[in-house]
Amino acid sequence: MADNDKIIKCPACGCEMEKIFMPKAGVNLDVCTNGCGGIYFDNREFKEFDEPHEDISPLIELLKDKEFKSVDENETRYCPVCGSAMMKNYASAEKDVQVDECYSCGGKFLDYGEIKKIRSINSPYNIEKTKDIFKDLYENAGLELIEEKKRRNQKSKTIKYTVRILFAILIIVLALLFLIKLGYINKLFNF
């Protein structure tokens, strides 16, 4: 979807949003400069700004030293571009930041300060920390899974062996009962 060119109202506080041109990405972001400080990203714009190495200096400069009114982050918000209800989703596996997303047009809305949080989550330090967590998980949980599989295999072998013995006993008992019915056991022991 292309950059929207109309003036839109903030989905969080209802104030008119200001278009801020981001030269390196070549897009306009809609920023609530006179209300809550939220930012609306048109479809596919967000991925241009969510990592620490991507330039958001015009945005930082614009929002610097401003105070913004607070908003109810739990309230349902409606997309300022298409009017659809926006869904709340987490921006990370840690569920630190909740983002409002429009499933109809692909827009995203971030409350004031959330862009910085998301960028810090995507920092090289946090990425390395996440890699370490997965490595530890793989090494420890993987070993635990291997040991659990060995225990299950051993238990399975024990169960199979027990079933075989019980089956053999059953065959012997049935054979004895059959022989008793035919009278061979009585003749054999002269009863």
For residue range 103-152, list pLDDT tens digits in order.
999 999 999 999 988 888 765 555 555 555 556 656 666 666 777 778 88
Can you give the pTM of this predicted structure?
Answer: 0.63
Match 């862009």 to its residue by tokens: 115
Q: What average pLDDT does the segment 21-41 reach?
A: 94
Q: How far apart are CA 50 and CA 48, in angstroms?
A: 6
In the chain, domain spans: 18-122, 126-189
- The pair phi, psi for residue 172, each rounded to 5°, is -65, -45
How high does pLDDT run on average in the chain? 84
Q: How far apart are CA 17 and CA 149, in angstroms?
A: 58
Of all residues in the chain, the percent with pLDDT exceeding 70 is: 82
12-24 tens-digit pLDDT: 999 999 999 999 8
Which residues, in sequence order, are bridge partners of residue 28? 21
User: Which pLDDT score, from 0 to 100, does residue 96 have?
Assistant: 79
Q: How far apart are CA 172 and CA 155, in angstroms?
A: 26
Q: How far apart are CA 88 and CA 97, in angstroms?
A: 10
